[in-house]
């Protein structure tokens, strides 16, 4: 996945070069310098998911600056087919007792649980993964609350895949506003800096 990001960056540089051919050589050089600076400031992080079940995969995070949204890309296998499974960032990067050591959802603003599109939600509320007929989930979203840069960085915290569907805080019990009733934690992984 990281190689794909580098390849995409190379393609963008190539596009910049070809779009600058009709301009002065110096102008093209400055555009490339600015683009290289943008790439140099981009932070990449990865979480490799494992657990007590057959669920496994990777989640890649990418953020260009503290004010930019974070792109979250996942490739996860081993879930039930045609299912929705809770997908969250939990507070601690501690997996010593399995995924339960990761603690509650990451919630630095002390909000109640919600959907990723809700104004009131935990930073760690990523909603549900949707699996295909083989139990695989691949996708990508951008999120303005999830940060790799700044005081509420998710680096060192844990991504957790749950065994149940997240009710997005719309359930009729108190647990809905804490966890979305997403259930057990079959797989998780600490979020670490990538290159």
Position 19 scores a pLDDT of: 38
* Domain residue limits, the chain: 2-41, 43-193
Residue 97 φ then ψ, to 5°: -115, 40
Active-site annotation holds for 125: yes
Q: Count of CB atoms within 10 A of residue 142's CB?
A: 12
Q: Which two tokens stand for residue 126?
A: 């990523």
Q: Which residue is catalytic, options 85, 113, 121, 157?
A: 113
- Tell me the per-residue pLDDT of 120-179, one tens digit each, with 9 for 90 and over: 999 999 999 999 999 999 999 999 999 999 999 999 999 999 999 999 999 999 999 999
Label residue 39 by pLDDT band (50, 70, 90).
Answer: low
Which residues, including other chains, have CB under 8 Å from residue 182's CB and lie 6 or more apart?
Answer: 85, 86, 88, 162, 163, 164, 165, 166, 167
Per-residue pLDDT for 27 more than 60?
no
* Per-residue model confidence (pLDDT) at position 142: 98
Report the chain's mean pLDDT, rounded to a whole number.
85
Catalytic residue among 85, 121, 157, 185: 185
Q: Looking at 125, 143, 166, 167, which residue is catalytic?
A: 125
90 is annotated as an active-site residue: yes
80 catalytic per annotation: no
The domain 43-193 having CATH identifier 2.60.40.10: the answer here is: no
Give the model's pLDDT for residue 41.
Answer: 82
Active site residue 152: no
48: left (phi over 0), alpha (psi -120 to 50) or beta: beta
Residue 72 has pLDDT above 80, yes or no: yes
**Interhelix angle 25-41/2-19, nearest 10 degrees:** 160
Residue 164 class from Cβ within 10 Å (0-12 exposed, 13-18 middle, 19+ buried)? Answer: middle
């Amino acid at each position: 996945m990281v190689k794909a990001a580098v390849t995409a960056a190379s393609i963008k540089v190539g596009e910049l070069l070809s779009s600058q051919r009709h301009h002065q050589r110096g102008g093209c050089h400055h555009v490339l310098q600015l683009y290289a600076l943008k790439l140099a400031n981009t932070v990449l992080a990865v979480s490799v998911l494992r657990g007590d079940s057959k669920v496994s995969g990777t989640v890649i995070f990418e953020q260009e600056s503290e004010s930019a949204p974070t792109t979250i890309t996942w490739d996860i296998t081993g879930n039930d087919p045609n299912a929705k499974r809770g997908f969250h960032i939990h507070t601690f990067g501690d997996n010593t007792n399995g995924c339960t050591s990761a603690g509650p959802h990451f919630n630095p603003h002390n909000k109640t649980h919600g959907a990723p599109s809700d104004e009131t939600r935990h930073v760690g509320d990523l909603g549900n993964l949707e699996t295909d007929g083989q139990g695989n989930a691949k996708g990508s979203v951008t999120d303005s609350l999830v940060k790799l840069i700044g005081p509420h960085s998710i680096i060192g915290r844990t991504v957790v895949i749950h065994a149940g569907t997240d009710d997005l805080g719309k359930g009729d019990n108190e647990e809905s506003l804490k966890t979305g009733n997403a259930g057990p934690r079959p797989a998780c992984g600490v979020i670490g800096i990538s290159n």
